[in-house]
Amino acid sequence: YVEVVLMKTLVTGGAGFIGSHLVNALISSGNEVTVVDDLSASSTKYLDPKAKFSETDILDVAGLNQSFQESLPDVVFHLAAHASVSESVKHPEYDANINVLGTLNVLEQCKLFGVSRIVFSSTGGALYGEPTYLPADEDHPIHPLSPYGASKFAAEIFIESICELNSISYTILRYGNVYGPRQSPYGEAGVVAIFANALINGESPVIYGDGKHQRDYVYVEDVVNANLLAMESPGNGKFNIGTNLSTSVRQIFDLIASEINSDLPPRYDDERAGDVRKIYLNCDKAFQELNWNPQVAIHNGIKSTVEWMRTQQR
Ligand code: NAD
């Protein structure tokens, strides 16, 4: 990972897939870390034992206040979110509660405790809708196809406005499809984890649609590095964090099958409503302003993810 200056940090969602990797990186470079997570979509399994842990829902204002009081962070990484597109379609109010009101609660504590910087995990894949041009840059029109995308965008706008009003600096990171070790194979997203888990267990995974949907897959270690660089960058801004490349679902399947040495074919099912057909992200701005560049090519990232998943089966 890149080198960082030592800080007191608080990571919401720090027990989750991306958050737990970020916490490991922050701790290993000597930072103090407090994790705030209600474990609604995770467990303490990947939680770094050197982090202070507060099992708190970001909707619980008193609990959140206590965590901030105890940790007095300089920098807050806000990753806690209800991150399910299909659930957000069924229960948009639940999604908005956590992703919008929860973000407002985090911002309120940042104000109260004089936090100097917030780094927010947003989404590129769910904000731009079906792109009108590719690769989509940060100026691409916003057209979320799901309440999840709408709630993440609402959170972005609140962060911009409240941070500017209170002189808190902020970075918004809009990720592509993040993949890597620790991603749950039981969610609706995370095809790399889902396909790898199925094939390792001798099952044919399902491809929704014709397999030609294309996404920008970015390895979790690269996403962690983007967070670390954002922590040190002086200005405010929003940045796509992807690879400038698109890979189809079928290509992902083939890469995983060849890594596992499996000749099982995939099963095909109906395309899912609201699935963007093709998106990949222009990440030039992150390169120019954060000095961030993805380092892990898709075949290497898949190899590492499959190796990790194999260790989980034993
Ligand atoms: P994750 O579900 O593994 O992590 C989210 C964490 O937040 C979990 O540990 C969960 O328990 C916690 N959480 C949920 N609701 C909470 C609440 N009310 N209070 C406290 N904690 C709560 O998901 P992830 O993939 O690690 O995503 C992290 C962030 O990155 C999210 O904000 C997500 O929107 C964003 N993101 C992820 C991807 C991706 O491909 N994984 C893509 C774009 C954006």
Span 142-192, pLDDT tens digits = 999 999 999 999 999 999 999 999 999 999 999 999 999 999 998 877 999
Q: Phi first, then psi: give them for residue 172, nearest 5 degrees.
A: -105, 120
Q: What's the CA-to-centroid distance between 263 and ligand 1, angstroms?
A: 33
Written as six digits, the tokens of 206 are 């399902």
Give pLDDT, residue 293.
97
Closest ligand 1 atom number to CA of residue 39: 11
CB-based contacts of 19-22 (< 8 A; 24+ apart in sequence): 19/77, 19/79, 19/80, 20/46, 20/47, 20/48, 20/182, 21/180, 21/181, 21/182, 21/220, 21/221, 21/223, 21/224, 22/77, 22/79, 22/224, 22/227, 22/228
The residue whose CB lies within 8 Å of the most ligand 1 atoms, and thus the one to mutate among 23, 37, 183, is: 37
According to DSSP, the β-strands at 117-123 and 169-175 are: parallel
What count of Cα atoms within 13 Å lies in the side-chain half-sphere of residue 268?
Answer: 8
Grade residue 313 by pLDDT with cuts at 50, 70 and 90.
Answer: confident
Site residues for ligand 1, CB cut-off 6 Å: 13, 15-19, 37-42, 57-59, 79-83, 98, 102, 121, 123, 152, 175, 177-178
Look up 148 and say whether it is catalytic. yes
Give pLDDT, residue 130.
95
pLDDT tens digits along 92-109? 999 999 999 999 999 999
Catalytic residue, from 1, 46, 133, 148: name it.
Answer: 148
Give pLDDT, residue 57.
98
Which residue, by CA, sits nearest to atom 9 of ligand 1? 16
What's the predicted TM-score (pTM) here? 0.97
pLDDT tens digits along 286-310? 999 999 999 999 999 999 999 999 9
